[in-house]
Chains A and B, each alone.
Chain A
Amino acid sequence: MPESLLVRIEDLHKSFPGVHALKGARFDLRPGEVHALMGENGAGKSTLMKVLAGIYTRDSGTVLLDGQPIDIHTPHQAQKLGIGIIHQELNLMNHLTAAQNVFIGREPKGLMGLFLDEKKLNDDTAKLLAMLKVDVDPKTLIGGLTVAKQQMVEIAKALSFESRVLIMDEPTAALNDAEIDELFRIIRELKAKGVGIVYISHKMDELKRISDRVTVMRDGEYVGTLNTQEATMEQVISMMVGRPLQNYVRKDQNMDANPVALEVKGLNRGRALRDINFKLRQGEILGFAGLMGAGRTEVARAVFGADPVDSGEILVKGKKVTVKIPRDAVQAGIGYLSEDRKRYGLALGMDVQANTVMATIGRFLHLGTFLKKKPMADVAEKYINTLSIKTPSQEQLLKFLSGGNQQKVVIAKWLLRDCDILFFDEPTRGIDVGAKFEIYKLIQDLATQGKAIVMISSELPEVLRLSHRIVVMCEGRITGELSAAEATQERIMHLATLRSAAM
């Protein structure tokens, strides 16, 4: 019944220099449904949606809107046809107000068409926001709002085009549970109004809650479409990776017998960290769970000397160490793999070899000045092999590697620095499903070799899968500790929402 379809995309092809990104992709969308689009990074989901939103122009294929073929070349045309997109990395202007952002490019004009009509701008925005029941003042600067509120403003912007098709690319990536509930409330309201929503996400539990159908893509091709209620996680993942995944079985080892590698006592930093105490043993993977902003990253940064602390002691292998700056931590054998590896972990414009030896360059110098080429090449080669970093050569620039392989280079860097204590902060963020499992295996191997590992992750299945022990945080405090045997998603969530008022 094609006439009841809002959007139908058939046999779409799109190539970029060197990449055939879409090979006969298909997709359709009914009015008033949430249609999830899944696939690994690079599967072509975002490319497909960017074609629909006019950001890319297709090479061949048909796009039908209400059964009529359409030809979109610019975002502007797409907007006029009622197709709106909310990008994963929000596209807002932080220095402008909410209202100015919503109507950028379509400012209402007053006097002689020369001057802006600020009043109408703010009034119209207020109406839109009220319709969404979002509590944001049109006159506040976007930069001062939370990510969740910014996203609501983006949605208001898309609606101001009278969008009938709304594409959302990983909208919950930076939201906490309450904010996700709020987003879903808005999505349901839009559904009721007949808006068709394309929902790109990796989180299966979310899709179960909000979506009606799931379409899976792989390597730029259409794999299949399922009704969400009937689909299982395993089914979808195997469609995404093209093979059934072997499920990892956690070894419930007790690490209590191992010597303590790191002990943190009474760490305090303003309101961000309050009385943090924990022990980490050799060979142990200690998971840190909690909601966004619970203070997990802050713990890592404080231990690593990246942020000043008010009080607290750090003991490495039983000896007290003073960590004031990251250099002290590194010398004590502590490595920190940032959640934002592109910003804090890597020099993207430099090659694999240079990044690998970045933290240990002093070892590769003649007369303290000249670089020793051969030893650097040897050591880089060693890590490319042992961590199976997929790169055509050592001279490949980091920016051309996939997220998973970039992460491995960061790991190589810290391993070379002889770090025995490693803090992994969201180690699989932005990494394909397939590559995620490789990173998991690598982290486990490191633990088996006797490294002590702290793993911070917002993905509970990941924490549950890897950790020997799990520490849960909420609002800067540790609210509980669970052994692998005791830990369940429900228990962790209970501890993660244990606010101080209730204690």
Chain B
Amino acid sequence: MNTVIKNLFSAKARQKVLAFASLVLMIVIFAVLSPNFFQMDNLISIMLSTAVTGVLGIAVTFVIITGGIDLAIGTLMTLTAVMAGVFIGYWNLPIWLGVLAAMATGAVAGTISGVLVAKLKLPPFIATMGIMMIAKGLSLVISGAKPIYFTKYEGYNSISNGSFIDFSFLVPGLIIPNAVVIFFGVGIVSSIILNKTVLGRYTFGLGSNEEAVRLSGVNVDRWKVAIYALAGAIVGIAGILISSRLNSAQPALGQGYELDAIAAAVIGGVSLSGGEGTILGTIIGAFIMSVLINGLRILSVPQEWQTVVSGLIVIFAVYMDILRRRK
């Protein structure tokens, strides 16, 4: 507990504190401007819409801390959703096995990205852009460019939309959707991996000084592949969340999600030059994005302008980070 408090005031955590403060400020402003904002069902809807971007943001956080980037996460999410449809809908696998198989699909794709980056030495931007296009194409090919519906498999929809945490007896309307619970669960587990395991240590090491890690006798390539594979598996979870929420795998969806996820990570203080970042930061970043969009929507700002404002926020957040670093 003591260390938690100490961390809160360390220089490293300042961006997180700053981001958190901006989030709170934003919520207060929207709550003042519109009575509809602070309604329980709106708050739940914000959490629900943050879940997918948030999980993708967590995935890409690992890769960005190594000093890399993963552009494939958006369309790969779609591919894993389509594959979930194939496993469950066409192959009639039980739902739990279909879910694992979809995550495995993500992990395989992540492994391929990792091999391209670590072994073939492709720049991560290019390697994952290639995978992004491949995943997009494969999603359309496999699904025949048509949505795959899960309506027959009742349990599937409740992965996201069901709720085993029901506090409505305490606060009316406080029914947390499973998607949100899964999102936070992924966050906690990822945070443990990043801070308490060797994989996490090397994630930071690679981003800080890859050559030093290599010269310390670490098999750098293998760990890098493992990190991309882990990111891919987490993307698989996002694929399950989105397809379960829509109760269908939409093959044309997905592109653009990667940029929202990267934006969430960057707003949350993950450094694009590697070596720095936290899962909590990324989660806060994802919330900033979705609170903003939701608030603007409630204030009836046209969607086009919502996008413009999101862009400004990203630029502002990164500029704040640069100012902080200059000191």
Contacts and interface: CB of A to CB of B under 8 A. Distances in A.
Contacts, number: 61
A96 B218 CA distance: 16
B211 interface: yes
Contact of B207 (A92, A95, A104): A95
B208 A105 contact: no
B217 A105 contact: yes
Contacts of B197: 114-116
Q: How large is the interface on B (under 10, 10 to 19, 20 to 34, 35 or more residues)?
A: 10 to 19
A85 B215 CA distance: 9
A104 B275 contact: no
Interface in B225-277: 275-276
A128 B214 CA distance: 22
B316 to A, nearest CB: 24
Interface in A359-412: none
Interface string A410-449: 0000000000000000000000000000000000000000
Given A79-B217, A95-B275, A104-B218, A116 B212 contact: no
Interface string B198-229: 10010011011101111111100000000000
Nearest to A90: B212
B276 A95 contact: yes
B230 to A, nearest CB: 14
A68 interface: no
Given A75-B216, A75-B217, A105-B216, A91 B201 contact: no
A225 interface: no
A76 B212 CA distance: 12
B215 A87 contact: yes
A157 B218 CA distance: 14
Nearest to B65: A95
Nearest to A107: B198
B275 A116 contact: no
Nearest to A104: B216
Contacts of B218: 104-105
Contact of A76 (B207, B211, B217): B217
B196 interface: yes
Given A75-B217, A79-B217, A116-B198, A92 B276 contact: no
A251 interface: no
Contact of B201 (A85, A87, A100): A100
Given A100-B201, A114-B197, A116-B197, A74 B217 contact: yes
Given A104-B213, A105-B213, 20 more contacts: A75-B215, A79-B217, A91-B211, A91-B215, A92-B209, A92-B212, A93-B204, A93-B205, A93-B209, A95-B207, A96-B205, A100-B201, A104-B201, A105-B217, A105-B218, A109-B198, A114-B197, A115-B196, A116-B198, A116-B201
28 contacts: A55-B215, A75-B214, A75-B215, A76-B217, A79-B217, A85-B215, A91-B209, A91-B212, A91-B215, A91-B216, A92-B209, A93-B205, A93-B209, A93-B275, A94-B209, A96-B201, A96-B208, A100-B201, A101-B212, A104-B213, A104-B218, A105-B213, A105-B216, A105-B217, A106-B217, A107-B201, A115-B196, A115-B197
Which 3 pairs across A and B sit closest by C-beta, in order of nearness?
Answer: A76-B217, A93-B208, A91-B212
